[in-house]
Structure 1
Amino acid sequence: MIKLNVQDETSRLRAVVLGTATSSGPIPKIEDAYDPKSIENIKAGTYPSEEDMYIEMEAFNKVFEKYNVKVYRPSIIENYNQIFSRDIAFVVEDKLIISNILPDREKEVEAIKYVIDQVDASNVITTTDDVHFEGGDVMLWNNYIFIGTYKGHDYADIITARTNMKGVNFIKDLFPNKIVKEFDLVKSNTNAKINALHLDCCFQPVGKNKAIIHKEGFKNEEDYQFLVNLFGVENLFHITADEMYQMFSNVFSISPEVVVSEQNFTRLNNWLREQGFIVEEIPYAEIGKQEGLLRCSTMPLVRD
């Protein structure tokens, strides 16, 4: 059995689901892509190859090996993209919550069924089809659960809007002891430079009291200000629109001291080291072309 425990984003990681790039399938057609960055790379002929993505994911896997983290991988579905395991389910405290993912991606849940089967069934939470949330939008921080959402009346037409207010309220009801704070994010189906696909595309805590943030990813100034007040401006690393586009906020913490980051994020990685972090740099830029990075391709199951 797996005894789930995730209370925050940075405590020492013991077990994780890491996606897979094996048999990730052909380059999608533009009409089948789920986000503007993938569309941009399909049009430009720069969409990543399976081989390149495989190499990047194995580099990530090696870091987990180095830190003795138990890694689960999805069962392989032939010719199918299974990189972003954060989208399909997520753990809060001792509950594994299955996302209501885009209908085309439901197979991905089946591919981790052998993991789900090792969890106490009473702790596996599913919900009705009208309740939407994805793991990239859900972030745990001390007594808070931060949730990225989209409140626009055109929610149904925005493919990049992945978590609705019904999803936020479902989490509120499930964890009455937590302070659930939602953030209305800026979305775009067509412009990747201004699209905050998930909350972790414009914000993420690191260590015990620091965070990476992109102010313009938040629709409301007061939501951004809330985080400034909570963390303190001196503890925030502000990223530009271009750095958000490169996914600077989508790093991954193995412990309060160790952060896995993309090797080209020089400005961020230098700042992290100045703050006393150990930075494990790996190549991940090819995977980033699909508007997801390190946090997106992991689903933590157990943290100390």
Structure 2
Amino acid sequence: MLKLNIKDETSRLKAVVLGTAESNGPIPKVEECYDPKSIEHVLAGTYPKEADMIQEMDAVAKVFEKYGVQVFRPEVIKDCNQIFSRDIAFVIEDKMIRANILPNRDQEVHAIDYIWNQVEEDHRIILPEECHVEGGDVMPWNDYIFVGTYSGDNYSELITARTNIDAVIALQELFPEKMVKSFELRKSNTNAKENALHLDCCFQPLGKGKAILHKNGFLIEREYEWLVDFFGKENIFEITKDEMYNMYSNVFSISEDVVISEKNFTRLNDWLRSEGFTVEEVSYSEIAKQEGLLRCSTMPLIRA
């Protein structure tokens, strides 16, 4: 059995699910895309090639190998985009929670059944149907669970709105000893620069008490200010709208002081090194074209 353990975003990583770009399927039609950035690249003829994405993900697998991390991959489903393993489930403490994601992505969830079945039965959680949630919106952070959400009346019209208030309430009931803190995110089906698809598109806690933030990703200024106060202004790397669009906040921590980051994020990577982090740089710019990056394609199972 797998002894799950996830209390935060930065403790030493022991086991992780890394998505796969194998048999990714044909270039989607515009109406099949889940986010505005994918639409941009479909229309521009720059949608990423499967071979390039496989190469990018293999580079991340090699970094995990270097640090002795056990890597699980989803079973490959023919012609199915299975890159973003963070969307399909997530772990808090010793429980794995299956995400209620977009209905046409249901088969992605079953590609990790072999992992799900290694978790003790009473630690496998399936939320009620009305609870919509994806792992990119959920961040365990010690006594807190940070959750990105959207509660506007037009929720059902926004394919970019992935986590609702029902899910926030359900998480609070599941973990009564934790403080579940929700943040309203800015959503747009059409403009990628005005769309925080998930909380990890505009916020990411790091080791050493640091964090990456983008103010415009939050709909309510006082919620953004709460995070600034929580981490301390001097510990925050504030990213620009263009940097958010390029997914600067979607890095991934292997430990308190080791971060995997995109090699083109020069400003961020220089800052991380100046703060004492080891930065493992990889090329992930093709995968980024689908509005997801390193955190989106990884789902931690065990941190020490």
Per-residue deviation, 1:21: 0.4
* Aligned 1:52-71 pairs, distance under 5 A: 52-71=52-71
Aligned twin of 1:47: 47
Contact 1:9 1:141 in 2 (8 A): yes
Per-residue deviation, 1:46: 0.5
The 4+ residue runs of structure 1 with deviation greater than 3 A are none
Aligned twin of 2:27: 27
Counterpart CA distance in 2 for 1:172 and 1:208 is 27
Task: Write out per-residue CA displacement over residues 96-124 of structure 1, whole angstroms, 9 at most, x where no aligned residue.
Answer: 00000100001011100001111101100
Counterpart CA distance in 2 for 1:116 and 1:174 is 18
Aligned twin of 2:220: 220
Per-residue deviation, 1:129: 1.7
Which residue type is aligned with residue 140 of structure 2? L
Aligned twin of 2:268: 268
Counterpart CA distance in 1 for 2:128 and 2:303 is 28
Residue 142 of structure 1 pairs with residue 142 of structure 2: yes
Per-residue deviation, 1:151: 1.1
Which residue type is aligned with residue 167 of structure 1? A
Per-residue deviation, 1:174: 0.4
Aligned twin of 2:97: 97
Which residue type is aligned with residue 82 of structure 1? Q
Contact 1:10 1:208 in 2 (8 A): no
Counterpart CA distance in 2 for 1:38 and 1:288 is 9
Q: TM-score scaled by structure 1?
A: 0.99
What is the aligned residue count?
304
Task: Write out per-residue CA displacement over residues 165-218 of structure 1, whole angstroms, 9 at most, x where no aligned residue.
Answer: 000000010000001100000000000011000000000001130000001100
Counterpart CA distance in 1 for 2:208 and 2:126 is 31
Counterpart CA distance in 1 for 2:211 and 2:65 is 26
Aligned twin of 1:124: 124
Task: Write out per-residue CA displacement over residues 18-51 of structure 1, whole angstroms, 9 at most, x where no aligned residue.
Answer: 0000000100000000000000000000000000
Contact 1:36 1:191 in 2 (8 A): yes
Counterpart CA distance in 2 for 1:142 and 1:93 is 9
Residue 107 of structure 1 pairs with residue 104 of structure 2: no
SS of 1:247's equivalent? Answer: coil
Aligned twin of 1:157: 157
Contact 1:24 1:79 in 2 (8 A): yes
Which residue type is aligned with residue 293 of structure 1? L
Per-residue deviation, 1:128: 2.1
Which residue type is aligned with residue 280 of structure 1? E
Which residue type is aligned with residue 14 of structure 1? K
SS of 2:97's equivalent? Answer: strand
Aligned twin of 2:11: 11
Which residue type is aligned with residue 96 of structure 1? M
Aligned twin of 1:36: 36
Q: What runs of 5+ residues in structure 1 fail to find an aligned partner?
A: none
Task: Write out per-residue CA displacement over residues 44-80 of structure 1, whole angstroms, 9 at most, x where no aligned residue.
Answer: 0000000010000000000000000000000000111
- Report the RMSD for the aligned CA atoms in angstroms: 0.5
Counterpart CA distance in 2 for 1:249 and 1:147 is 15
Which residue type is aligned with residue 213 of structure 1? L
Aligned twin of 1:177: 177
Which residue type is aligned with residue 132 of structure 1? H
Which residue type is aligned with residue 288 of structure 2? G
Which residue type is aligned with residue 197 of structure 1? L
Q: TM-score scaled by structure 2?
A: 0.99
Aligned twin of 1:79: 79
Aligned twin of 1:193: 193
Aligned twin of 2:243: 243
Counterpart CA distance in 2 for 1:125 and 1:74 is 19
Counterpart CA distance in 1 for 2:182 and 2:127 is 19
Which residue type is aligned with residue 110 of structure 2? E
Residue 301 of structure 1 pairs with residue 301 of structure 2: yes
Contact 1:18 1:85 in 2 (8 A): yes
